[in-house]
Amino acid sequence: MKEGKFRPHPNSLKNTFCVFYESDLSEIKEKKSDFESESGSTYYYTEIGMYRLSNHWGRLANSKWRLVSNNVANNSKVKLGFANWNDFYPDNKTDALYYLDYDSDKREILYQHKNNPDYDGIAVLRTSEETMKRIKTARNILNLTNWARYFDDWDIEELRIIVIDKLIHTNSTIEKIKKELYGSK
């Protein structure tokens, strides 16, 4: 099969989750686009995956496509991302498909799909809606301090790590987690 001749089935990318990795624009310099969406995103298909050139990432019409920055020297809002075909996972509103993933080095919490090869099988799986609520709570724990006003005897960074871990690995509410921790020290 020749580069640029591959065509995914028209509906094969609908209702999918995928993580794209930022690429340098030079990677598509010699390529002809295969598709342009109504919103202006341009797609370049290869045998192993797809490049997407776009100024918007995240929740799309019926998919969730995230771009991971590789610090490519590109100050434009338009970014090029690449994903392998086997990194597109099914998405829907009813199944527990997502888990929270915390990167302590970047102090960043994201959601990942259960089909991700890095899934440890321990983090609680949730529906899209439950995951979005949980991630909002986790980000508040990471970025705000008002939730910890009664934990004077605690180091807030240590407390954050404990709470985030419980948000990832249990179904306990933030109120229940705080209540358990408050009585434990």
What does pTM read for this prediction? 0.88
Over residues 156-179, mean pLDDT:
96
Q: In this structure, are residues 3 and 33 in contact, taking their beta carbons and an 8 Å threshold?
A: no
Amino acid at 25: L
Domain-wise residue ranges, the chain: 16-90, 98-182
Residue 21 bridge partners (DSSP): 68, 82
Please write the tens of the pLDDT for every residue from 35-52: 898 889 999 999 999 999
Average pLDDT over all residues of the chain? 91
Q: What is the pLDDT, as a whole number, of residue 77? A: 87
Q: What is the pLDDT, as a whole number, of residue 174? A: 96
Tell me which residue of 76, 77, 75, 16 sits closest to 50, measured CA to CA. 16
Q: Rounded to whole angstroms, how far apart are CA atoms 82 and 66?
A: 11
Tell me which residue of 36, 75, 30 sits closest to 53, measured CA to CA. 36
Instruction: Report, in angstroms and rounded to the nearest whole number, the Rg of the chain calculated over CA atoms.
Output: 20
Is a pLDDT exceeding 70 seen at residue 141?
Answer: yes
